[in-house]
Amino acid sequence: MTEVAIAPSFNRAATKHRAVAGRKLRSSLGWAFCGICFLLVAAPLIDIILLVLVRGFSALSVDLLTQVTQGVSGGLLNAIEGTIVLSIGALIIGVPIGVGAGVYLSEFGDGRFGQTVRFLADVLTGVPSIVLGYFSYVTMVIWLGWQFSVLAASITLAIMILPYMAKMTELVLRQIPIPMREAAYALGAGDRKVVLRVLLPVALPGILTAVLLSLAISVGETAPLIYTAGWSNYLWDGKLVRSPIGYLTYVIWSFINQPFASAHALAFAAALLVMMTVLAINLAARAILRVRGG
Amino acid sequence: MDSAPTGLARSVAKGKGRKGSISPFRMTLIGLAGVIPVVIGAVLLFLVVYAWPAIRFNGIDFLLTKTWDLGNLYADPVPRHGVLAPIGATYGCLVFVAGTLASSFLALLVAVPISLGIAVFLAEGVKRVLRTPFAIVVELLAVVPSVVYGLWGIIVLVPIAAHIIAPVLAAVFPFIPFLAQAGGSGFGLLSSSLVLALMVIPVITITVFEALNRIPKEAKEAAYALGTTKFEMVFFTMLPMIRPAIIGAIILGLGRALGETMAVLMVSGGALNYMPTTLMSPISTMASFILSQLDSAEQDQSGLAVQSLAEIAIVLFVITVIVNIVARLMVRKGAGVSR
Amino acid sequence: MSDGTFAPRLTRAQFLKSVSLAAVGLALPGVVGAAQAAGLTILETGSSLLYPLFNLWVQGYSKIDPSLRITTQSTGSGTGIAQAIAGIAQIGASDAYMAGPQVKKNPTMLNIPLAISAQNIVYNLPGLNGSALQMSGPVLAGIYSGKITNWNDKAIAALNPGVALPNHTILPIHRTDGSGDTFIFTQYLSKSTPEWASSVAYGTTVSWPAVQGGIGAIGNPGMVQTTAQNPYSIAYVGVSFLAQVQAAGLGVSPLQNKAGKFVLPNPQTIVAAASGLIDSTPADQRISLIFADGEMAYPIINYEYAIVNAKQPNAALAKAIKGLLTWAIDPMGGSTGDYLSKVHFVALPDKIRMQSHARIATIAS
3-class secondary-structure state, position C92:
strand
pLDDT at C13: 47
pLDDT tens column, A4-26: 343 444 455 555 555 677 878 88
Confirm if C289 and C301 have CB atoms less than 8 A apart. Answer: yes
Q: Report the neighbours of B using a cutoff of 3 or more CB pairs below 8 angstroms.
A: A, C
**Which listed CATH number (1.10.3720.10, 3.40.309.10, 1.25.40.10, 1.20.1090.10) goes with A84-247?**
1.10.3720.10
Rounded average pLDDT over A35-55: 93
Residue C17 has pLDDT above 90, yes or no: no
Note whether B171 and B50 are same-domain residues.
Answer: no
User: For testing the chain B interface, which of A3, A20, A41, A178 should be mutated: the one with the most B CBs within 10 Å?
Assistant: A41
Flag whether residue A226 sits within 8 Å of chain C, measured between CB atoms.
Answer: yes
Rounded average pLDDT over C188-203: 94
Note whether B162 and B76 are same-domain residues.
Answer: no
* CA-wise closest residue to B284 among B94, B96, B152: B96
Note whether B137 and B272 are same-domain residues.
Answer: yes
CATH number for the region C12-117+302-360 comes to 3.40.190.10
CA distance B141 to B133: 13
Mean pLDDT of the residues in chain B: 86
Contact B125 A220 (CB under 8 A): no
The size of the B-C interface in CB pairs under 8 A is 129
CATH number for the region C119-273 comes to 3.40.190.10
Note whether B122 and B250 are same-domain residues.
Answer: yes
CA distance B68 to A38: 41
pLDDT at B6: 53
Question: Residue B155 has what DSSP assignment?
Answer: I
Calculate what percentage of chain B has a pLDDT beyond 70.
Answer: 91
pLDDT at B333: 65
Contact B88 C215 (CB under 8 A): no
User: For testing the chain A interface, which of B14, B29, B193 should be mutated: the one with the most A CBs within 10 Å?
Assistant: B29
Q: Give the residue from chain A lying closest to B42, CA to CA.
A: A135
Q: Give the residue from chain A lying closest to B100, CA to CA.
A: A126
CA distance A72 to chain C (A): 7
Q: In C, which residues are within 8 Å of B147 by CB distance?
A: none
pLDDT at B7: 62
For C218, the closest of B73, B266, B296 (CB atoms) is B266
Contact A259 C22 (CB under 8 A): no
For C204, the closest of B185, B217, B296 (CB atoms) is B296
CA distance A288 to A286: 5
Contact B7 A107 (CB under 8 A): yes
Q: What is the 3-state secondary structure (H, E, C) of chain A?
A: CHHHHHCCCCCHHHHHCCCHHHHHHHHHHHHHHHHHHHHHHHHHHHHHHHHHHHHHHHHCCHHHHHCCEECCEECCHHHHHHHHHHHHHHHHHHHHHHHHHHHHHHHCCCCHHHHHHHHHHHHHHCCCHHHHHHHHHHHHHHHCCCCCCHHHHHHHHHHHHHHHHHHHHHHHHHCCCHHHHHHHHHCCCCHHHHHHHHHHHHHHHHHHHHHHHHHHHHHCCCHHHHCCCCCCCCCCCCCCCCCCCCCHHHHHHHHCCCCCHHHHHHHHHHHHHHHHHHHHHHHHHHHHHHHHHC
Which of A81-95, C6-20, C309-323 has the weakest average pLDDT?
C6-20
CA distance B300 to chain C (A): 8
Domain boundaries, chain A: 84-247
Contact B269 C216 (CB under 8 A): yes
Q: Which of residues 141-170 of A touch C (CB under 8 A)?
A: 141-142, 147-148
Contact B301 C101 (CB under 8 A): yes
**Range of the structural domain that residue B263 is part of:** 96-283
Note whether B119 and B241 are same-domain residues.
Answer: yes
Q: Which of residues 297-316 of B touch C (CB under 8 A)?
A: 297-299, 301-302
User: For testing the chain B interface, which of A38, A157, A159 should be mutated: the one with the most B CBs within 10 Å?
Assistant: A38
pLDDT tens column, B213-241: 888 888 777 777 776 778 888 888 888 88
In a domain, B4, yes or no: no
Most confident of A76-80, B161-165, B194-198, B256-260: B194-198
User: For testing the chain A interface, which of B3, B36, B138 should be mutated: the one with the most A CBs within 10 Å?
Assistant: B36
> Strand A69-70 vs strand A73-74: parallel, antiparallel, or unpaired?
antiparallel
Contact A71 C59 (CB under 8 A): yes
In a domain, B28, yes or no: yes
Q: Report the neighbours of C using a cutoff of 3 or more CB pairs below 8 angstroms.
A: A, B
For B121, the closest of A37, A108, A163 (CB atoms) is A37
3-class secondary-structure state, position C110:
strand
pLDDT at C25: 44
Note whether B224 and B127 are same-domain residues.
Answer: yes
Flag whether residue C240 sits within 8 Å of chain A, measured between CB atoms.
Answer: yes
Flag whether residue B202 sits within 8 Å of chain C, measured between CB atoms.
Answer: no
Contact A257 C219 (CB under 8 A): yes
CA distance C41 to chain A (A): 9
User: Which of the four pLDDT bands, split at 50, 70 and 90, describes residue A43?
Assistant: very high
pLDDT tens column, C23-44: 444 444 443 333 344 478 899 9
Residue C167 has pLDDT above 70, yes or no: yes
Note whether B268 and B308 are same-domain residues.
Answer: no
For C215, the closest of B67, B269, B292 (CB atoms) is B269
CA distance A220 to chain B (A): 4
For A237, the closest of C33, C43, C58 (CB atoms) is C33
Rounded average pLDDT over B322-336: 73
Flag whether residue C15 sits within 8 Å of chain A, measured between CB atoms.
Answer: yes
Rounded average pLDDT over A111-125: 91
User: For testing the chain C interface, which of B273, B296, B309 should be mutated: the one with the most C CBs within 10 Å?
Assistant: B296
Global confidence as pTM: 0.87
Distance of CA A125 to the CA centre of its chain: 12
CA distance A85 to chain C (A): 6
pLDDT tens column, B94-115: 999 999 999 999 999 999 999 9
Q: In C, which residues are within 8 Å of B183 by CB distance?
A: 213
Contact C78 B299 (CB under 8 A): yes
Domains identified in chain B, total number: 2
Residue C142 has pLDDT above 60, yes or no: yes
pLDDT tens column, B48-104: 999 999 999 999 999 999 999 998 888 888 888 888 899 889 999 999 999 999 999
Domain boundaries, chain C: 12-117+302-360, 119-273
Residue B299 has pLDDT above 60, yes or no: yes
Which of A18-27, A136-145, C58-67, C172-181 has the weakest average pLDDT?
A18-27
Note whether B85 and B154 are same-domain residues.
Answer: no
